[in-house]
A and B are shown apart, each in its own frame.
Chain A
């Protein structure tokens, strides 16, 4: 496989496509599949065949179109027409109207701000790539960055591109990716490893799932580029077992890339070799923490260890290890395709590029979006997200999952970047955005996240193991109207202590939902405690429960 071969494949594909009158991509991501998109795909295929149109028109499985709330979705002729709420029974109507107007109920307005306001980098291709087909990815410009790097660039040059792009870790921490890469590159040339962290566990987050499902080849290409830059020869993709479709597609991608010599020994006949293996997580949130993830890959209990030494110095099997989030890795390919200056022009001064967010909760347009950094929360929620359903009033948006915080109305005009979010007591996190309206009780929300952190604590260090359990009990007490102001004071003291003394990020961030709701919605806590009343009407008051143990 050489660059010329890639171009030949791409050209072939494009020529074949240009002979077709219509190409329809039906989303086959998990969300659309759950509303029968595979049957839709088959029904339309059968319908085309029945009408003898299968040579003129093609229906292909595609990736996520974003607006999951209106699924199953389909995209005709690269955005000429978008379809929503498809059912297998709609197949005749869809085929009939390929040249004209489909029924209004199936039409999705492509001019919605949801589509026009997005900037696609990690999700480049917009779901119009068959995730099961390497040639489809190559036709969309795939693997040119890798082959170009292997033939014409030194590892140091690849690394410099990433450094100059200003890319920061998309897993939540926002650590400069280039710096991480150069640390691993500088480490002693023993075997080195590259790990892609696909253990996305935040409630309400599904960005990495979509990226792995829709662009498995981009993840592989980005990983291979990373391995080339840091001098690694072996890689692992750590995916949670709850993402079976992502696992299947990644496995298929690995197989196809190996067959075409884009992965394995002497990639594209160069001296560079790189092999990839998939490891499944067993459903532990803490394994998203890098040292716990490494322990899990090694076959041990998924518990974190104190850092330093950082994985860049001593990681998997004690060797230098580069560990990046799926979205970070997916950004590497566009950076090398279009150059670091192009990437650095998107976003803000300190947060370059775009961020994929998963919108969920009380919002009209539930789904997946990719927006430039620096966009405001108001634009995301009210323009792209289409606002709150049923005319309800916005209350808060939760970013960063159980490690993040709730941001109230007054901060909606703040730009979304790593530093601004941290200032208002939340974090960028991996990209989950849960919108809450007036029917949500903030004590209940804090309790929900604390229950999650308590259940997912690994139990190694005392503050996180016992602290989260005590905080959960106190939140339960408050939500049931059994608490006193002393309990609130204890809760605040525990928040401070757990935040500053826990071993890993899970414990250090576990109090964030409580701290941020106390900061902006203290009156709700006080209503529960002093008036034994839940202002949103969510919590069941049980003040009559006898206190046995305190």
Chain B
């Protein structure tokens, strides 16, 4: 058993196990930190940078999803500076792809949209990049619209870590990174895809969707994931 430590989050005294992250302890105590790439039940990559927090005595900002709690730690999850950075990160994401909420299957059920609203973002202060991206509708049941993809890699991780298929991966680098199936073959022709649909359910935006859904009809059910992860841990005896 790991030790229990006490720490302060936003001045509030809280306790947590030493193997828990700042994000876990904050959420247990009802303190909300925005995240996009994090999902309970998957490994953490610290890529979206929305969960950055200030820790007293550390000059850098630390991602709450991968930072373990320690005794006497003093964490600030919300400050003028953090809010500004978070808004800019979401603005960058909107400017990167082609996000048009009004015609999106996930309108109203989109984590990117929710985060933007939570951060009180009313306009995008950066030039849109309007990339040209092809929709992949080759799969019989699901579709991929990369215009709405924010490269959080949740689908990559759920496919690799939970389903064990590793159909998804990222190709290219930097601003040219893109989500691909297998060795960049159309999704419908993928030899590894089991059509389980886990990737669709945990996709935070409308990038992965079930065919036949119209605007705002695509609701996602990611709740299976913590349950699966818990059962797996129990089986492995941890």
**A and B: interacting chains:** yes
Residues of chain A touching chain B, judged by Cβ–Cβ distance below 8 Å, are: 284, 286, 301, 305-306, 454-463, 465-470, 473, 490, 493-494, 497, 500-503, 549-550
B92 touches A467 (CB 8 A): yes
Using Cβ atoms and an 8 Å threshold, which residues of chain B touch A305?
45-46
Interchain Cβ contacts under 8 Å between A and B, 27 examples: A305-B46, A306-B45, A454-B175, A459-B173, A459-B177, A461-B47, A461-B48, A462-B89, A462-B92, A463-B49, A463-B92, A465-B96, A465-B177, A466-B175, A469-B96, A469-B129, A469-B174, A469-B175, A473-B127, A490-B125, A494-B88, A497-B84, A497-B85, A497-B88, A501-B89, A549-B130, A550-B127
Answer whether residue B204 sits at the interface, using C-beta atoms and an 8 A cutoff. Answer: no
CA gap between A257 and B175 in the complex, in Å? 44
Using Cβ atoms and an 8 Å threshold, which residues of chain B touch A494?
88
Number of interface residues of B (CB under 8 A): 34
Answer whether residue B95 sits at the interface, using C-beta atoms and an 8 A cutoff. Answer: yes
Q: Knowing A469-B175, A503-B49 touch, does A463 contact B170 (C-beta < 8 A)?
A: no
> Nearest Cβ distance between residue B219 and chain A, in whole angstroms?
25
Residues of chain B touching chain A, judged by Cβ–Cβ distance below 8 Å, are: 45-49, 52, 60-61, 63, 66, 84-85, 88-89, 92-93, 95-96, 125-130, 150-151, 169-170, 172-177
Using Cβ atoms and an 8 Å threshold, which residues of chain A touch B177?
458-459, 465
Best-buried of A305, A306, A456, A493 by chain B (most CB within 10 Å):
A306
Using Cβ atoms and an 8 Å threshold, which residues of chain A touch B52?
501
Using Cβ atoms and an 8 Å threshold, which residues of chain B touch A459?
151, 170, 172-177
CA gap between A462 and B174 in the complex, in Å? 9
Query: Which of these, A455, A461, A549, contacts B49 with CB under 8 Å?
Result: A461
Using Cβ atoms and an 8 Å threshold, which residues of chain B touch A284?
173
A502 touches B175 (CB 8 A): no
A500 touches B151 (CB 8 A): no
B173 touches A458 (CB 8 A): yes
Main secondary structure, interface of B, reads loop
Q: Knowing A459-B173, A473-B127, A494-B88 touch, does A503 contact B47 (C-beta < 8 A)?
A: yes
B174 touches A455 (CB 8 A): yes
Using Cβ atoms and an 8 Å threshold, which residues of chain B touch A550?
127-128
In the A-B complex, the 6 residue pairs with the closest CB atoms: A459-B177, A457-B174, A466-B92, A306-B46, A469-B175, A466-B96
CA gap between A502 and B88 in the complex, in Å? 12
Query: Which of these, B45, B95, B176, contacts A460 with CB under 8 Å?
Result: B45
Query: Which of these, A458, A490, A500, A501, contacts B174 with CB under 8 Å?
Result: A458
Determine the residue in chain A with the shortest Cβ distance to B46.
A306
A456 touches B174 (CB 8 A): yes
> Nearest Cβ distance between residue A282 and chain B, in whole angstroms?
11
Query: Which of these, B88, B93, B174, contacts A493 with CB under 8 Å?
Result: B88
> Nearest Cβ distance between residue A423 and chain B, in whole angstroms?
16
Query: Which of these, A456, A463, A493, contacts B89 with CB under 8 Å?
Result: A463
Using Cβ atoms and an 8 Å threshold, which residues of chain B touch A469?
96, 129, 174-175
Q: Knowing A284-B173, A470-B95 touch, does A549 contact B47 (C-beta < 8 A)?
A: no
Best-buried of B46, B52, B85, B175 by chain A (most CB within 10 Å):
B175
Using Cβ atoms and an 8 Å threshold, which residues of chain A touch B46?
305-306, 461, 503
CA gap between A460 and B92 in the complex, in Å? 14
Determine the residue in chain A with the shortest Cβ distance to B172.
A459
Determine the residue in chain B with the shortest Cβ distance to A456.
B174
Known A286-B173, A305-B45, A466-B95; 4 more pairs at CB < 8 Å: A458-B177, A497-B85, A501-B61, A549-B128
Determine the residue in chain B with the shortest Cβ distance to A461.
B47
CA gap between A550 and B128 in the complex, in Å? 8
Using Cβ atoms and an 8 Å threshold, which residues of chain B touch A470?
92, 95, 126-127, 129
Determine the residue in chain A with the shortest Cβ distance to B50.
A462
CA gap between A460 and B48 in the complex, in Å? 8
CA gap between A62 and B169 in the complex, in Å? 47
Using Cβ atoms and an 8 Å threshold, which residues of chain A touch B127?
470, 473, 549-550
Using Cβ atoms and an 8 Å threshold, which residues of chain A touch B175?
454, 457, 459, 465-466, 468-469
Determine the residue in chain B with the shortest Cβ distance to A501.
B49
CA gap between A454 and B173 in the complex, in Å? 9
Best-buried of A454, A465, A466, A497 by chain B (most CB within 10 Å):
A466
> Nearest Cβ distance between residue A548 and chain B, in whole angstroms?
9
Q: Knowing A490-B126, A500-B61 touch, does A468 contact B174 (C-beta < 8 A)?
A: yes
Using Cβ atoms and an 8 Å threshold, which residues of chain A touch B96?
465-466, 469
> Nearest Cβ distance between residue A546 and chain B, in whole angstroms?
14
> Nearest Cβ distance between residue B98 and chain A, in whole angstroms?
12
CA gap between A468 and B96 in the complex, in Å? 11
> Nearest Cβ distance between residue B192 and chain A, in whole angstroms?
17
CA gap between A501 and B66 in the complex, in Å? 14
CA gap between A306 and B52 in the complex, in Å? 12
CA gap between A462 and B96 in the complex, in Å? 10
CA gap between A497 and B82 in the complex, in Å? 10
